[in-house]
Structures are given as structure tokens and as C-alpha cells.
Amino acid sequence: MRDIRGVSRRGLLGLGLGAAAAMGVAGCGSSGEPGPGAPGSAEHPNGPKPGREPLSRPIGDGSTADTGPQPHQPDAPVPLQPGETPPQFVVFSWDGAGEIGNGLFPRFLKLAKDHGAAMTFFLSGIYLLPESKRHLYLPPNNPAGASDIGFLKDENIRSTLKYVREAWLDGHEIGTHFNGHFCAGSGSVGRWTPEDWQSEIDQAVSFVTNWRTNTGFTDLEPLPFDYGKELKGSRTPCLLGRDNLLPTAQRLGWRYDSGSPGGLQVWPVRRSGVWDLPLQSLPFPGHSFEVLSMDYNILANQSKNSTRGLPANYPGWRTQATATYLGGFRRAYETNRAPLFIGNHFEEWNGGIYMDAVEEALKGMADKRDVRLVSFRQFVDWLEVQDPKVLARLQGLGPGRPPAGGWSAYLTAT
């Protein structure tokens, strides 16, 4: 099995547990029924119609196709009414989004479907590029064909294509995690210029839109979307390089970035015209410090530099990881209703306990009133129809701070 850990762990060496959380070190590489019009709802008007296939217009070499509006999208968002309680948004996102045969991609597609959830999959472009063609990748400030994450075997590329296609048809968002995931040294993404980011993005889009030419596969259906138009946001490798990415993202018309090196559980703002949707610091049970809302950051504070800690610790670590997600959820849900952003990888670190924790956390959130499990793009759709004065009031609430006098009084005051 090839290593597709979307993270270089060298940066963790020498860090204490609390220090790893404080510095924003990040890895990369009870059931509820969906409401009317929710992702996964049979009532949604954009859902597939029985007996009808969507019209398909091939793009380029046929690797992708324009099949029309994405199915299984929520109803058009509307502004909050005066005094209305805001929904509790939760975004589950995945870095890399490669299927390497461990069954995690289809596992979470099924979980999402079972609970009416939409997610964001940040696809690494080189996961659709065969290793035999790695020379086609020209990473900024690095040798041709270099990558700090592995290239996938052909059978894994085929599986990744299958599940990315299924994800989009299920209503999920396909973003980008770029390509080579360089986190350290002179070629680190933290040193890239806006022009370097443009080159990296162009190549990521090319690998997604030319997989048929690069792989030679002729028996697979195209990805059912125009990736150049679909791509509206990203997460940078190891949460580095955002400042120089933002001018490029704004020029491309991207709507958000999720590559900030850590944020608080507050309502987001725009930076350089792009919504800043960072991973967030969450209460970490048993400790006085907080941890970023990503599986690898929890791991870094449990088993330090090892993805294979002592098995005897797995049950306790699994419980602690689940409690971290649910604790962050409760803090927002019961107070300022700030959106919760959770980052993950399709990895079986420490015996797969973080995958179990994410599943249990999602189940523990899905059946709560006013909870919306959405993609980043769907959340931005909602943000952008709100009254700026209402958003300003929401943005004024700190982590764990409830609205003074209750929601009705607090938002009516606008």
C-alpha cells in the first residue's frame, strides 16, 4: 500500500503536546432523517429522476463532462428573519480524498447518505496521475515529479475516480488539496509566491481534467462536472502558505479558503475577498489547552509522532477524539452557533480510531434540531444571502458566548 498520508510529520519533532496544538500543526494527505430539500432528501427537486439520465456534454479528452446542475442540493438559502435563531452548520471535510483500498471513501459516502449530510472532498490532483507519468508534474521550487505524498497505483486511481464521481452525484463538493504536499525545506508551500500557487492550481486542474489521457483508461465514465467551474475552494498542505494563495484565489473567483493555521469557534469573515473558514481550536478533554479540529492534530497530541501508538491506548484515545468533536459541537450549538469545521484523512492511524470518532460524532450531531451538515460551498451560499448587519452581530460573539438576551432580542436589535 502506498503512503498517501497528506502530511510531513517532520515539523512535529521536538514539539510538546500543547505546543503542537498551539502551532497549528496539521495533517493532510442516533440517526437523523434529512429534512425536506436537504442533501440526500428524496423530496429535493434537483434529485435524479427515475428512468432519466442527465444530459452529458464531454469536455476536453472526455475525462470530465458537463451534466447540468449538481443533484441533491439544498433549497436556495434565504436570509435569517428578525430574531430568528441561526442554524448550527457543521462541515466535515477530507484532505486528499484518495481511495487506497481501505474502504474509507465509500464508508463515509454511505454514512453521509444515511444522515442526509453533504461534505467537502479536497482532492489531491496527483492522485489521478499514474506514477509512470509523474514527470508531468512540475512542482514550484521542487524537482520535476517530486512529491511528499505517494502516487497511487492504477487500481487505486480507478477507485478514486469512481468515488469522486459518486460523491459529486450524491451532492458533495469537490475542492482541491493541490498536489505534492510540500511542507518543509526550501520548496515548502509556505515559501510559494502567488505565481507559484497559480502554477500548482493549473496543474491540479489539468490532472483532474486529463486523467483519461494520462492513465489510458477508456472503460470508465467521465467525472460528471466541469472542474474549472466546480472548483471554488481549497485547503493548503499543512495549513501553510495561505497569505500568498489568497491573491490567486481571489483572481480565480474562488469563494473560500480553509487553509488558515487555526481559528476560533466564531462566525467567519472575508480576507482578501475570500471567506476564511479555518480549522478551529476545540476543547481537548483532560487538558487545559485546545486542539485543532482535525484527526491528525488530535493524533499528534495523543501518540506524538507515531501513527501507530500503543494499541492498549486506542480505546481511550478513540473516546477522547469523539468527545473533542462533540464538545466543540456543544459549545457552539448551545451558545453562539458558530459553524464547526472538521478536517479528516482517509487513513487508519492508530488502528482507525479517528475514523470511528468522526462517524460517532456525526451521528451524535445529525439528529439535533436546526443542525445542517453541509459542504463548505453550501455554507458560503448561506452566508452570502445574509444581511451584513446580521452577520456583523453574529461575528461579534466570541467562542462559547451566547447572545445577550437570547437570539430573538440579539438579532432583532439589528
pLDDT of residue 20 exceeding 90: no
Q: Would you place residue 258 in the very low, low, confident or very high pLDDT band (cuts 50, 70, 90)? A: very high
Q: Where are the beta strands (DSSP E) in 4-128?
A: 57-59, 64-66, 88-96, 120-123
Is the residue at 4 inside a domain? no
| pLDDT-wise least confident of 10-14, 266-270, 314-318, 346-350 | 10-14
- CA 197/CA 359 separation, integer angstroms: 33
Domain residue limits at 210: 84-412
Cβ pair 210, 60 in contact under 8 A: yes
85-129 residue pLDDT tens: 999 999 999 999 999 999 999 999 999 999 999 999 999 999 999
Cβ pair 303, 313 in contact under 8 A: yes
Task: Find how far residue 362's CA is from the centre of its chain.
Answer: 14
- CA 15/CA 38 separation, integer angstroms: 43
197-253 residue pLDDT tens: 999 999 999 999 999 999 999 999 999 999 999 999 999 999 999 999 999 999 999
Q: Would you place residue 261 in the very low, low, confident or very high pLDDT band (cuts 50, 70, 90)? A: confident
What predicted TM-score, i.e. pTM, was given to this entire model?
0.88
Mean pLDDT of 341-358: 98
- CA 239/CA 172 separation, integer angstroms: 22
pLDDT of residue 47 exceeding 50: no
pLDDT of residue 304 exceeding 60: yes
What is the dihedral angle through the alpha carbons of 402, 408, 412, 414, rounded to the nearest 10 degrees? 10
Q: Would you place residue 262 in the very low, low, confident or very high pLDDT band (cuts 50, 70, 90)? A: confident
pLDDT (0 to 100) of residue 5: 32
pLDDT (0 to 100) of residue 225: 98
Cβ pair 361, 322 in contact under 8 A: yes
Is the residue at 311 inside a domain? yes
Q: Where are the beta strands (DSSP E) in 163-220?
A: 173-176
- CA 104/CA 107 separation, integer angstroms: 5
Backbone φ/ψ region at 280: left (φ over 0), alpha (ψ -120 to 50), beta:
beta
Three-class secondary structure assignment of 66-84: ECCCCCCCCCCCCCCCCCC
Residue 164 amino acid letter = V
> Residue 59's beta-bridge partner residues?
64
CB count within 10 Å of CB 31 equals 9
If you search the block for the grid coordinates 460573539, which residue do you land on?
Answer: 397
pLDDT (0 to 100) of residue 34: 36
Among candidate residues 308, 200, 302, the one with its CA nearest the CA of residue 259: 200
Is the residue at 105 inside a domain? yes
Q: Grid coordinates in use for 384? A: 452570502
**Greatest pairwise CA separation for the chain in angstroms:** 63
DSSP-based three-state secondary structure for 385? coil
Our count of domains for the chain comes to: 1
Among candidate residues 390, 304, 414, 389, the one with its CA nearest the CA of residue 350: 304
If you search the block for the grid coordinates 472548483, which residue do you land on?
Answer: 231
CB count within 10 Å of CB 314 equals 17
Is the residue at 107 inside a domain? yes
Residue 275 amino acid letter = W
Q: Grid coordinates in use for 402? A: 451566547
Q: Would you place residue 305 in the very low, low, confident or very high pLDDT band (cuts 50, 70, 90)? A: confident
pLDDT of residue 4 exceeding 60: no
Q: Would you place residue 54 in the very low, low, confident or very high pLDDT band (cuts 50, 70, 90)? A: low
Q: Would you place residue 41 in the very low, low, confident or very high pLDDT band (cuts 50, 70, 90)? A: very low
132-168 residue pLDDT tens: 999 999 999 999 999 999 999 999 999 999 999 999 9
Q: Would you place residue 27 in the very low, low, confident or very high pLDDT band (cuts 50, 70, 90)? A: low
Is the residue at 329 inside a domain? yes
- CA 131/CA 291 separation, integer angstroms: 35
DSSP-based three-state secondary structure for 103? coil
Is the residue at 70 inside a domain? no
Is the residue at 369 inside a domain? yes
Cβ pair 226, 176 in contact under 8 A: no
Is the residue at 8 inside a domain? no
pLDDT (0 to 100) of residue 414: 64
- CA 49/CA 38 separation, integer angstroms: 16
If you search the block for the grid coordinates 515559501, which residue do you land on?
Answer: 191
If you search the block for the grid coordinates 453541509, which residue do you land on?
Answer: 374
End-to-end CA distance of the chain: give it in Å, rounded: 56
- Average pLDDT score over the chain: 89
| pLDDT-wise least confident of 15-24, 205-214, 376-385, 400-409 | 15-24
Task: Find how far residue 124's CA is from the centre of its chain.
Answer: 12
What's 283's domain CATH number?
3.20.20.370
